Structure 1
């Protein structure tokens, strides 16, 4: 089995996040052995050598599958409730599994989706089992994971992406560190960079034109407790066929910029999520668990007159047309912990809280798990290209 699952799950289980719940489940209809034998018959008819069980519940179905499956069959247990796995393991659940079994646990559906694809698992080659013992929200969440996994497909994007123009954009504060490096990270083929400055005086805006040959459009627009207004101001000044926006503490490397260029030439997808890797405590490690990775960011999308951000706080992009995909091999490098001290990050969060009149309180954690970047990268021989997402209601 891929060691990525074992180590990743161990990191998640090392950290107990306050307020986490265990799964809702009841006794399976029939015995666990009967259910296991039924699914193994289905798997044999399909010639599937991989079984993926969504939801551990009380662990009995997983244990029955371990006892009854063929020696050359793999069992992957995907569970969205780390606290459930922690409690099961305390009762010896992990001791009942052999080397052909692996537990993948994290509360993030997207982390599990990417890890499955990055380790070579696909729905067409596997037999998928939604644990019949799950109930309530637990059943609904695991059902969504199963549907998204089975409905997501790999697609090709053009080898060259020269037909569409792309506007790059950002909302910046004049006191952000390394602004020159941020502007310089945009490739030479970007012809327009729209910068919205969160400041009240035009004199505060630094001169950055000498760091890039693109047309740089500077707009002053203070936050005024309205994040969407800032974003919409940014959108109105973008004239490219496509728009990509980054924050001052984010970077894409040259190889990933080329993927962006190619993705903008795709006819199958009109908007793309990019995973974001928050480096901590150094650039070799990334924060993971409970939504910290892949932290999908909808940053690349086709420009049209209908797109706009809504909600003053926790803004969301609306008006997108066409299908949406993920670029798993094009991560945004999030450098906030490398560029800023903890005190500066906390001051920034405090300013956001003040702008919302106390409606939101951001807390900077210190103990979230982190892992070597290699363990959230595709396993050797398992290249993962662009993924087209199914149209599924996640509510």
Structure 2
């Protein structure tokens, strides 16, 4: 086995990091006690390419300081997946945070249901430099909606239109009413840390990138733990992007933004805090998933499992002793 041979023959001052996108492979290695019998040997596994990438960068590994080797024994789908990881890790590069924001109007936006909990807190958590907040409500125009203007100095623009099981159409109504040069949007059960907003504002001045992804942490069962597995981390969300007339969301559910011009990147140390399990009952979440299922016409089935694996938040965050800057992504297509 290549991993075992490398571990046995590496020099004592070398570090061997074994990355695998198939957890069952790592289980085989650990059963052979590779991680215990060979010093300075680290095993890293997750079924998500993006999870491996973030864990590598957050823990101080970079292509410039590592010698990358693709296991020659890989073939088929496994080889393609690991090649994608290799290309992504090799082609990504960290960029500097601008020191001063350029004059820029930034629109904040959301699609909301009138019965969402803690909407006042949601509105308050946007910073004062947001100049307009576009809210698209899932209801007819005559229906009452919470009066939120007094909770923020920005102009709040209310749009009324039933969701009709089409999230992209609702998002596109949101885009149509955003007049800012940049747009940031969040859901009602999402928050950003107060200290993150200044960096977000600065990143709109980064000429190398026109769209930024955020990692998203779904807190469960409390605010100190995050759900993992099944693509739930890092759950990258493209939420900050430069406005242009070609932007459009597609897909009725799991909507995706198209028409972004230029490069994109990840704001590595600015996670979106997803509070759905802290704000809503299990019954409410299951009802929402049932609406999702109706939106797909039976093509997908979303279910809330009885077992929800989680891990301590600090294990999915950058090391405290190092600042992880924004990451510019290479121009490659990830499947």
* TM-score (structure 2 length as normaliser): 0.96
1:89-108 equivalent positions in 2, closer than 5 A: 89-90=30-31, 92-94=32-34, 97-108=37-48
Aligned CA distance change for structure 1 residues 165 and 97 (closer, same or farther; 3 Å):
farther
User: How many equivalent pairs are there?
Assistant: 335
* 1:324 Cα offset (Å): 0.4
Query: Which one of the candidate residues 79, 82, 85 is aligned to 1:142?
Result: 82
| Aligned equivalents of 1:202, 1:99: Cα separation in 2 | 68
Residue 243 of structure 1 is matched in structure 2 by 183
> How far 1:94 sits from its partner (Å)?
3.5
Post-superposition CA distance 1:362-385 (Å, at most 9, x none): 111342431111111112433210
2:65 pairs with 1:125: yes
> Conserved in 1, the CA contact under 8 Å of 2:35 and 2:42?
no
Take 1:95 and 1:219, find their aligned partners in 2: how far apart are those partners? 56
Is the 2:109–2:184 contact (alpha carbons within 8 Å) kept by the matching residues of 1? yes
Q: 1:199 aligns with which of 126, 139, 144?
A: 139
Partner of 2:302: 362
1:223 to 163, 171, 177: 163
Residue in 2 that maps onto 1:314: 254
Aligned-partner Cα distance in 2 for 1:389–1:355: 32
Contact 1:271 1:302 in 2 (8 A): yes
Cα distance in 2 for partners of 1:243, 1:225 equals 24
Query: Which residue among 37, 42, 49 is the counterpart of 1:109?
Result: 49
Where structure 2 has 5 or more consecutive residues not aligned to the other structure, the ranges are none
Deviation at 1:356, TM superposition (A): 3.1
1:278 is aligned, of 212, 215, 218, to 218
The residue number in structure 2 matching 1:324 is 264
Structure 2 Cα separation of the partners of residues 369 and 97 of structure 1: 29
Specify the alignment match of 2:4 in structure 1. 63
Counterpart among 287, 291, 297 of residue 227 in structure 2: 287
Instruction: Check 1:95–1:178 CA distance in 2 against 1; reply closer, same or farther (3 A cut).
Output: closer
Give the equivalent residue in structure 1 for 2:313: 373
| Range moving further from structure 2, 283-292 or 228-237 | 283-292
Distance 1:289 1:353 in 2: 21
Indicate if the aligned counterparts of 1:106 and 1:290 stay in contact, CA closer than 8 A. Answer: no
Give the structure with higher Rg (CA): 1
The Cα RMSD (Å) is 1.4
Identify which range, 157-166 or 323-332, moves more after superposition: 157-166
| Residues 1:177 and 2:141 aligned together | no
Whether the 8 Å contact between 2:183 and 2:240 is mirrored in structure 1 is yes
- For 1:130 and 1:392, how far apart are their aligned partners in 2? 18
| 2:94 matches 1:154 | yes
2:288 to 348, 354, 359: 348
CA distance in 2, matches of 1:221, 1:176: 16
Distance 1:257 1:179 in 2: 19
